[in-house]
A and B are shown apart, each in its own frame.
Chain A
C-alpha cells in the first residue's frame, strides 16, 4: 500500500478477466454500485487472447480494499484478482503533458524532461508536449516541476502494474 502526501491509501488491484463484451461494464458497475471509487483504470489484452488484464488504482483503507477484492472475485467473468500492494510489484504510467514554453524557458523545460528520461514529442511556438514514462512517483514529481511553467493539458494512461515474482 502506498500512502501519498494527501494521506489517502491507494491500492493497485489487477484483475484477469474474460475478454468479452460487457465485462468492463460489470466491473465498473460493481465498483460504482457499491460506492467505491477508482482513481485510474487501465484495460488491455494479455498473451492469452481470451483474457484481458485490468489494472485499477483504488483509494481506501484495508477494509474497503478487502471488500472490493472479494466483490470482484465474485463476478463470474473475473478469473483472478490480486492486490499488488500486498507484494513486491512494478508499476508504470505514461503521461503526455503540454506545457507553455516561450523562447526563454524552452531549453530549461527540455533539460528537465531529459533528466526525467522524457521525450519531447511535439514542439510548437508557445508550447511543448513531453512524454514521460515511469513509476507513478517519478511521473508525479515531473508534473510538480512543470507546474510553474503552466501546464496546458495532461493525458495520463493510468497506472499499469505487475507482480515482481
Chain B
C-alpha cells in the first residue's frame, strides 16, 4: 500500500524526472514529506512564478518536460503566469498543485482556490484528482500529454486527503486517451503537393518556427535548405533552428525583423512555414502578408493552420518526419535572380545600430555577448527592447540556445528560466540578458542560483526605462512618457516625485551582492568584453549591470497594423 503522496513521487520518478522546482505549503506537506526521500533533485524557489519559469527554462533548454510542485491557493495562482507562458509557447511541463481536502472544496477554505478552473485556459490540460487510485495513471497521462502533439503545460491538482489516502493502484500504461491522437506523419499527398510547389517556385522562402526546435528537426531543415537553396527566416522562438551564420539565413521576420526577411516574405511566390503559427508580431497586417505567395503550412497543431493566414497547402504533422519525407521529393532549382535579390537586402540592410558612438549602447553589449560566447551559450531573456536586440544581434547557431517568452511576453521570465536551463544543461554557459524593469519582477530567484553554485551571468541593460513602452510612447503617443521612467528623476508630474535624487534605485550591484552573487557595473564600451569573459569564467553567478544610453529605439519597426513593407528605420 502506498499513499497518494508516495504514488505521486514514484510517478514523477517513473516519468524520468531529474529535477523538480517548487515551494512547500500546507496542502503539499504530505508530498514534501515523501519528496524528502525522492530519487531526484529538488530546487527550492522563492516565489512560485519562479518555479514555473524554471521548469519552463529547463524544458526549453533540454527538450525534456519541466516539473514543479506548488501549494494550493496563492501557490497555484502565483504559478499561473508561468503556466500561461509555457502554454502560449508550447512548452512541455507538469505542475503538481496541492488542494484543500476534498470535503473542504467549495467551502472557501484557507488557501483554497479553484485551481483547475483558474488554469483551464492556460494549460494544455488539467486534472483535479478525486480518487487516490487514479494518481499513477493521471501523472503518466500528464507527462504523455505535455510532451506529445503540440506540447504544453499540464496541471495536476491533488487534494490533501487524497495525498494521505492509501492505495494498491499502479499504472503500467500506455497512457492513452481516446480523444487525443496527435498526428505525426504528414499526409503523403500533401507532402507531394508541397514538393511540387517547391520545385515550381521561382521565389520561395521558408519561415521556420519553434516547431522545428520542438521536433528536433534542425538537421532536416538544414538538409532541405542545402539541397534547395531556399532562404530561411526564423521566428523569435525558432531562433537556433537554423544557423544565423548560414548565408541563406534571413534572420527574424516581423515587427522588429530584418529587411531581408520582411521583403522576402512580401515578394516571395511560395512561403513554406514549418512549425510557425503566424503570430500577429510576425505577420503585420494579415491581408498584406506574403500577398503573392502560395502558402504552405506544416504544423503539428491543426488549429494553427488557417487560423490567421489561410494555408493553400496544409500539412498536419511533426516537422521531422515531414521534412524527411519531403527531402527526396525536392529538386535543386536554379533561382539565381531571386537569391541575388535576397543577398542584396542581406548585405545592404542588415540589423544595424550606431557602432561609432562612444556611448554604451545595449545593442553593443548584446553583440559582445554573442561574440564572446560564439553562439555556444544558452541565452535567456526577459521581454522588451533587450529581447528584440538579442534576437537581432546575437547569432544563434544551434537549437535550444534561445530561451525567451514569445507568445505571452512575460517580463521576469529570463532569470528563473536561465536557472532552469543551467540546471538542465550543466555543461553549457548560460547568460540571461534582461532589462532593468523586467529583472525586478523576479530578482529574488538569484538566491537559487547562488545556493546551487550555478555560474549564470545576468546582464542587466539598465536604460532607466521600461524601454519598449517608452519607445511606443515616443513613436505613437506624442512622447508623453507616462509611467515608464524607472530612474528617480524625470517622472511625470502626476507621479509626484520631486526630481531630487539623480541616483538609480535599486543599486543592482549591491542587490547582487546581498544575494551572494558577484556584482559589476559597466559604463564604458571598452569594459564590456573583459567583464563578460571574467564573468563567464566565474564559478558563481555574476550580475553585470550595464548603464546604457536611455533613449535608444529598436529598429526596424513595422508599426502595429501596418504591412511588413512599411518598416520604420528611424524617427525623423
Contact = CB atoms under 8 A, between A and B. Distances in A.
Given A67-B307, A70-B302, A70-B303, A76 B145 contact: yes
A77 B302 CA distance: 17
Nearest to B307: A67
A20 B116 CA distance: 14
A134 to B, nearest CB: 32
B121 interface: yes
Contact of B302 (A26, A29, A30, A73): A73
B303 A67 contact: yes
A146 B519 CA distance: 80
B-side interface mostly? mixed
Contacts of B178: 79
Contacts of A73: 302-303
Contacts, number: 38
Nearest to B301: A74
Contacts of A17: 179
Nearest to A70: B303
Contacts of A63: 306
B128 interface: yes
B121 A71 contact: no
Contacts of B117: 25
A75 B178 CA distance: 11
Contacts of A70: 302-303, 305
Given A76-B125, A76-B180, A26 B120 contact: yes
B309 to A, nearest CB: 12
A33 B303 contact: no
B177 interface: yes
Contact of B179 (A22, A25, A30, A78): A78
Most buried by B among A18, A66, A76: A76
Given A22-B116, A74-B301, A74-B303, A29 B121 contact: yes
B80 to A, nearest CB: 14
B179 A75 contact: yes
B302 A18 contact: no
Contacts of A80: 179
Contacts of B116: 22
A76 B125 CA distance: 7
Contacts of B128: 22
A18 B179 contact: yes
B307 A79 contact: no
B296 to A, nearest CB: 18
Interface string B111-132: 0000011001100110010000
Contacts of A18: 179
Most buried by A among B120, B302, B303: B303
Contact size class for B?
Answer: 10 to 19
Nearest to B130: A21
Nearest to B127: A22
Interface in A75-108: 75-80
A73 B303 CA distance: 9
A54 to B, nearest CB: 13
Contacts of A74: 301-303
Contacts of B120: 22, 25-26, 29
Contacts of B145: 76
B305 to A, nearest CB: 8
Contacts of A77: 125, 179
A57 B179 CA distance: 22
A143 B394 CA distance: 67
Contacts of A66: 306
A21 B177 CA distance: 16
A29 B180 CA distance: 19
B177 A71 contact: no
Interface in A16-44: 17-18, 22, 25-26, 29-30, 33
Nearest to B125: A76
B302 A76 contact: no
Contact of B177 (A25, A29, A30, A76): A76
Given A25-B117, A26-B120, A71 B303 contact: yes
Contacts of A25: 117, 120
Contact of B121 (A22, A33, A67): A33
Interface string B175-201: 001111000000000000000000000
Nearest to B180: A76
B113 to A, nearest CB: 15
Interface of A: 17-18, 22, 25-26, 29-30, 33, 63, 66-67, 70-71, 73-80
30 contacts: A17-B179, A18-B179, A22-B116, A22-B128, A25-B117, A25-B120, A26-B120, A29-B120, A29-B121, A30-B121, A33-B121, A63-B306, A66-B306, A67-B303, A70-B302, A70-B303, A71-B303, A73-B302, A74-B301, A74-B303, A76-B124, A76-B145, A76-B177, A76-B179, A76-B180, A77-B125, A77-B179, A78-B179, A79-B179, A80-B179
Given A71-B303, A76-B124, A77-B125, 20 more contacts: A18-B179, A22-B120, A22-B128, A25-B117, A29-B121, A30-B121, A33-B121, A63-B306, A66-B306, A67-B303, A67-B307, A70-B305, A73-B302, A74-B301, A74-B302, A74-B303, A76-B145, A78-B179, A79-B178, A80-B179
- Please provide the 6 A-B residue pairs with the shortest distance between their CB atoms, ordered closest to farther: A70-B303, A79-B179, A76-B125, A76-B180, A33-B121, A78-B179
